[in-house]
Amino acid sequence: MLNRLLAPLLLLASLGAQAQAQGNTVYRCPGPPVLYTDALSAKEAHDKGCRTIEGTPITVLQAPKPRPAAVASEGARSGGADARVGAGQQRVRDDERRQVLQTELRQAEERLAGAQREFNNGQGERRGDERNYQKYLDRMAELKDNIARYEADVQALRREIAKLP
C-alpha cells in the first residue's frame, strides 16, 4: 500500500525534474487515477480540467525495498533473518514447553479440586460473614462459575499437551 501511495509522488518528482530541465509545463489532471503529465498542450490540459504544478514544492521519497515474504514472516517470528532451528534445539524447546504446560495443568487441577471441595455439590458450608442467605447463594454461584472455568482450563491444557510431538 505504501508503494501505491509513493508512486504518484515519485512520478511527480521525475516529471517535475524533466519539465524543469526541458522547460515543459507539468499538469495534474483529476480523476481516478490522478494523472501527472507534461505530454498535454495547454488547450488539452484546460479541457480536461488539469492544473499546472509550477512553483509547487516537490518532495521525493524513496520507497523501502520490500523483503521477500518467506524471509519477512520467519524473521518476524524469530527476531532474525536466519530463523532455522536445529532438530536438537527444537526438541529442547518442545520439552521445555511440555514441562511448563504440565506445571500449569497441575496448578489448574489443584484450583479445580479446591473449588469443588468448597462447593461441595452446591452444599458448601456457610461462613460467619454470610448471615444474609443471598451472600451465600452468590458465593455458591461464583464457585460454580469458577469450577466451569477451571474445567475448561484443564481441558485446554490437556489438548495443548496432546498436540506436542
What average pLDDT does this structure show over 26-36?
A: 83
Grid coordinates of 117: 471441595
Of 41-55, 71-85, 126-140, 144-158, which range is least confident? 71-85
| Total number of domains constituting the chain | 2
Residue 35: name the closest of 108, 111, 44, 127 by CA.
Answer: 44
Domain interval for residue 106: 86-163
pLDDT of 128-147, one tens digit each? 887 888 888 888 999 999 99
Would you place residue 73 in the very low, low, confident or very high pLDDT band (cuts 50, 70, 90)? low
* 92 belongs to a structural domain: yes
Grid coordinates of 59: 518532495
**Is the domain of 37 the same as that of 96?**
no
Alpha helices in 31-123 (DSSP H): 42-48, 69-78, 87-119
* 76 belongs to a structural domain: no
**Is the domain of 92 the same as that of 45?**
no
CA distance 164 to 94: 7
